[in-house]
């Protein structure tokens, strides 16, 4: 298997000489589960590698970590909770690796240890220089080898359970059930009272040659008033029971509607894509009901429709279900792991010494 070194090498090579804080062994036990011990150096390293998934080097500032979520929870508390859950899962999978009698082949072990050798080669064979960089993560050359072998075991246990041939693999029946229980189908009539697309002499939308994005311009006051009046008229017609499909055909400003003949399929995980208001409306509305939503991007009339039987398998809407498998798999993993994770013991005093904000991130 081809070794993927980009992320890890970036983590190592881009780190400044913060390694002057080295000398610490980080050998204390932070978590335990069924004989598996997560040592401080493992925990520190996994804090760093997981942090890189959530926080860019540009965002890794004092101002960023001073922010709070809507409920007052700090970003530190929020992200550390997520990463702690990942590390707990690692501990459980390492235990299951042993319980289920799994093993690594010689080739898999060599592959895992080879990561450390590749890093050493990147430092010209200078183990001392490599260790100075690795100290930022609580590691040295030998501990890096150890952690990489542990990660190979974690992956093997994961594949044994959740891989395509795993005992807990996601089935077609699981996908159908997840679709039925989590997705809603809606159609959205958009009245764009904010901007209009720039068009050429033939009425075709003009696209930026560099970015490929459609060019837009803000509506003037007269056009904005016209759009607001149209929205008010549509709202009255919906209340009077006029056909929603006819209103869609006549007034929809959604340029993507032509590619969504069955409407939009939305699940709670699509919050980032559709925003809270539309995502919540899709979940809360009864079939046949409509809701008006207005924000700084426009006016939206949303109507909920019955789910199409096995709609996720329709090629027409394949793009809308690109994440269905990963959503279903995450749900399966969470369900399977829940009882195990509850029994992972955390030394809170030891864990409190490590923070996400203080962990190194790729590019810094």
Q: Give pLDDT tens digits for 96-154.
A: 999 999 999 999 999 999 999 999 999 999 999 999 999 988 899 999 999 999 999 99
HSE-CB at 45 with a 13 A cutoff on CA atoms is 26
CA distance 30 to 152: 21
Of 308, 272, 269, 273, which is closest to residue 287 (Cα–Cα)?
Answer: 308
Pick the CATH number of 184-306 from 3.10.50.40, 3.40.50.170, 3.40.1310.30, 3.40.50.720: 3.10.50.40
Domain ranges of the chain: 6-170+327-351, 184-306
Tens-digit pLDDT profile for residues 283-313: 999 999 999 999 999 999 999 999 999 999 9
pTM: 0.69
Could you read off the pLDDT of 77-94 as tens digits, one per residue?
Answer: 989 999 999 999 999 999
Tokens representing residue 151 in the block = 């990660």
Q: Distance between CA 119 and CA 45 in Å, rounded?
A: 15
Residues 94 and 153: their CA atoms lie apart, in Å, by 6
Nearest to 309 by CA among 183, 169, 171: 183
Enter the tokens of residue 309: 């039987």
């Amino acid at each position: 298997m081809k070794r993927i070194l980009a992320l890890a090498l970036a983590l190592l090579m881009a780190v400044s000489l913060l390694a002057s804080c080295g000398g610490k062994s980080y050998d204390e036990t932070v978590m335990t589960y069924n004989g598996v011990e997560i040592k401080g150096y493992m925990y520190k390293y996994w804090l760093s590698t997981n942090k890189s998934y959530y926080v860019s080097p540009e965002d890794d500032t004092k101002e960023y970590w001073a922010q709070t979520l809507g409920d007052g929870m700090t970003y530190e508390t929020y992200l550390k909770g997520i990463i702690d859950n990942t590390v707990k899962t690692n501990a459980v999978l390492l235990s299951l690796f042993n319980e289920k009698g799994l093993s690594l082949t010689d080739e898999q072990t060599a592959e895992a240890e080879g990561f450390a050798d590749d890093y050493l080669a990147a430092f010209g064979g200078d183990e001392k220089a490599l260790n100075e960089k690795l100290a930022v993560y609580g590691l040295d050359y030998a501990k890096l080898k150890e952690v990489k072998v542990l990660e190979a075991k974690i992956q093997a246990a994961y594949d044994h359970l959740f891989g395509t041939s795993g005992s807990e693999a996601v089935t077609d029946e699981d996908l159908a059930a997840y679709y039925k229980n989590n997705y809603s189908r809606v159609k959205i009539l958009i009245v764009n009272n904010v901007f209009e697309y720039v068009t050429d002499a033939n009425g075709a939308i003009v696209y930026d040659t560099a970015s490929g994005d459609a060019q837009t311009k803000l509506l003037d006051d007269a056009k904005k008033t016209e759009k607001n009046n149209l929205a008010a008229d549509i709202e009255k017609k919906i209340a009077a029971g006029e056909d929603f499909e006819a209103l869609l055909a006549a007034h929809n400003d959604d340029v993507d509607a032509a590619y969504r003949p069955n409407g939009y399929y939305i699940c709670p995980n699509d919050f980032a894509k559709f925003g809270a208001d539309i995502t919540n409306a899709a979940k809360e509305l009864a079939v046949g009901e409509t809701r008006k939503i207005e924000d700084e991007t426009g006016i939206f009339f949303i109507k909920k429709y019955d789910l199409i039987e096995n709609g996720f398998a329709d090629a027409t809407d394949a793009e809308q279900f690109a994440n269905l498998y990963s959503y279903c798999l995450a749900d399966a993993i969470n369900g399977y792991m829940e009882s195990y994770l509850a029994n992972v013991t955390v030394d809170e005093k030891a864990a409190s010494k490590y923070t996400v904000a203080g962990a190194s991130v790729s590019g810094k």
